[in-house]
A and B are shown apart, each in its own frame.
Chain A
């Protein structure tokens, strides 16, 4: 048992009805690191995150959190033990206010106890959320919504934060800000599992990375190594950004 692993996925298969979405997927997220999971649309990245957070069920394999099996847990229990998932599309509660969204983020009892503190921290990190705290979440701009989604997930005091395509739909400047945010949260001690289509930026900040293709892990290695890899560059990185 690796003691410095926050999250270990071992040989996981996931089926949607008769269609198999993930085949024997294994990955490891060491404590305090940023792990990126990249791949094309439909490769199964979101499916994997949903399996870890309990929305999907693995038909084979197991998922370990700090050594303990969590494969059979329901989503609300997964949050309770310290894995927080910001899903694709953010899924904020549009008709609830910013403050209410944050309150719900701190729903697990241990998070509720430190709610006042975490709220202060969230507002310090995202002043715009403080100024809009009584506005409905649906009225925020795309960038603000992404910030709220991440802030909300942090309210549950997670050990591991999983982000599904946080840069989706954001302008280039905001994308930059987003990745800076991810890096800075990581420096504060949050282990991160990052799913991204923006391969270049993701590999730049990742300590370790995996490439998922058609439901299978096809490559894994250090972030910078994968970024320099010609295959990865050809398949996933745009012309403009490729290194010679």
Chain B
């Protein structure tokens, strides 16, 4: 096998990994925002991404709207849905000491959605085919699938928008403060429900982007969401909670791990390797591999 290894093949693997990893990255950013402010592990995140992928799919299949155009619609619906989910289901759980409650609510949402989607739309994998979904951009002998490339750009732009929002706006700064110390934030006059709602809106909005990304890149089915959210958490564990760039980087690293191991370790052990990485990081550096320890003041 090593004889077949060529430079361009390795580059191809690396690029594929990075491009796909960007989706893990935006999902991880969303999870990080929600966990940062409310310490809630939102396990339903992946299934919501699938829901938005379906939304994109149906907008295309039934109404002929191009996926990249439906992006706006999906993002808006996603953000609103995020606020609705927070206000409807998580307001008490966010304040409760026992975080298992919110974990169970999230799992309940996941279970509900994935089975609802199966009943409505069957468990068959879906993917979108347009004129450009099979297009390949060629750069010096390396073939980059067009949709993966645009997906990557979208992920980076989305991450950039989130960073700007968090750094430059007052409410964004409030979100960062609340992630650090929610009690202290309330003593500043910051309403925790508002920052939580914003975190959810942003997080689920990002899930919307990830959903459109997914729809154009990879076949998806209702139950894929669970595996996807676990992978996003691995990305977060690698990249560190509390850092947008860290989450994105973590996702890309996971994408690389996946891409390389699926080539070099044949037979589908890739997933097991990913979960093993997850457990290891969870146990030895839950604050993330890339993050230096957070100081307290």
Contacts and interface: CB of A to CB of B under 8 A. Distances in A.
Nearest to B171: A107
Interface string A71-96: 00011100110001101001111111
A230 interface: no
A70 interface: no
B183 interface: yes
B187 interface: yes
Given A94-B296, A138-B296, A138-B297, A75 B187 contact: yes
Interface residues of B, number: 22
B183 to A, nearest CB: 6
B133 interface: no
B189 to A, nearest CB: 4
Contacts of B192: 76
Interface in B50-99: none
Contact of B173 (A55, A74, A103, A140): A103
Contact of A76 (B181, B191, B242, B297): B191
A92 B188 contact: no
A156 B297 contact: no
A95 B176 contact: yes
A137 interface: yes
A107 B297 contact: no
A138 B294 CA distance: 9
Contacts of A53: 187
A100 interface: yes
B187 A96 contact: no
Contacts of A79: 186-189
Interface in B174-221: 174, 176-177, 180-181, 183-192
18 contacts: A53-B187, A54-B186, A74-B186, A74-B191, A75-B187, A76-B190, A79-B188, A85-B187, A90-B297, A91-B183, A91-B297, A93-B176, A94-B296, A94-B297, A100-B176, A104-B174, A104-B177, A107-B189
Interface of B: 170, 173-174, 176-177, 180-181, 183-192, 242, 294-297
